[in-house]
Amino acid sequence: MCWNCSSCDAECPVEIATNRLRPQRIVRFANIGLFEELIASPEIWYCLTCRRCNRVCPNLVKPETLICYARSAAVRCGVVSYHAARAYYDLFRRFQRVRWHAVHHCLHDADEPISDARWYSWLDTPIPDAMDGISSQRLFNSNEPFRQAAKGADLSRCFTCGECSSACPVAGERSVFDPRFIFRMAHFGLAEELLMSPSIWLCVQCGRCTEACPQRVDGCGMIASLRELAVREGRVEEGFVRRVRDAQKQVYTRLLDEIDELLGLNVGFGNQASCPLTLAECA
Ligand code: SF4
Ligand code: SF4
Ligand code: SF4
């Protein structure tokens, strides 16, 4: 069904940050049967599985579903070892720490490039838990725009089932980013803590939490509102959003380089060693 409109490429946060992940190309390779090349490509491991490409496709093609299938086939066929795949998921979890630290850095007006030393130190530095030390007197102290945003997202309906956190491609360590946690904090009116938190800038606005919520809480919309409020109320400095965008480009590019090194796959379709299995055997 793909007609090469590139809507998925334009929507992909990794492609936007790095120009190195094109879901459209992955779909075309699968479409014309270059399956062995596809499962040996590092590109399938660059994906965040955010499903923004699935949502935007006018023909209901699902590039993310294909990517997940290609990854499991790569492991099944031995193109990527099980241990390498586990190391990859561990890297991805720790990468969210890097993103958190990068935003924290930008919040304090720092503009310098992210060095190797800083990258590795951030990968290994856990984030302190934001809920430590919040007294009950701080609850329900938010202003009217904040309350309206929470009401608009129907946060009071949340029964903390955690489906949003399970669906979220960014959630890993709670202190770094956990949608359920953020939505509960917002429901309790913890405006100060949320509007100054780097976590709200880690969301990739994919909408998976909203889709997954059985209570129809609009989590994706709530996080967008928190960001808007942070800017509108001057909680972040002028230039902060640009700095975050630039920092994200740096850290995503760095992540892809780490993935290349970790998995040892040749960069670029068509350069890879062939999988010994045929498509029929693999399927
Ligand atoms: S799932 Fe997200 S990161 Fe992956 S290809 Fe699609 S838009 Fe890009
Ligand atoms: S999925 Fe909905 S109801 Fe469940 S924890 Fe998340 S916001 Fe609350
Ligand atoms: S929109 Fe929801 S699921 Fe997507 S990254 Fe943000 S919190 Fe996670």
Q: Give the tens place of pLDDT for each residue, 85-126.
A: 999 999 999 999 999 999 999 988 677 788 899 999 999 999
Rounded distance between C-alpha atoms, residue 272 and residue 168, angstroms: 32
Q: Is the beta carbon of 48 within 6 A of some atom in ligand 1?
A: yes
The pLDDT mean for the chain works out to 90
Q: Is the beta carbon of 230 within 6 A of some atom in ligand 2?
A: no
What confidence score (pLDDT) does residue 269 get?
54
Q: Is the beta carbon of 67 within 6 A of some atom in ligand 2?
A: no
**How many angstroms separate the alpha carbon of residue 160 from the centre of ligand 2?**
5
**How many angstroms separate the alpha carbon of residue 179 from the centre of ligand 3?**
7
Q: Is the beta carbon of 178 within 6 A of some atom in ligand 2?
A: no
> Residue 129: is it exposed, middle or buried by C-beta count within 10 angstroms (0-12/13-18/19+)?
exposed
Residue nearest to atom 8 of ligand 3 (CA): 168
Nearest to 265 by CA among 276, 274, 254: 274
- Average pLDDT of the segment spanning 161-187: 95
- Average pLDDT of the segment spanning 170-197: 93
Nearest to 26 by CA among 8, 48, 49, 51: 8
**How many angstroms separate the alpha carbon of residue 217 from the centre of ligand 2?**
7
- b/e for 224-237, b at 16 or more Cβ within 10 A? bbbbebbeeeebbe
pLDDT tens per residue across span 254-283: 999 999 999 988 765 544 445 555 556 555
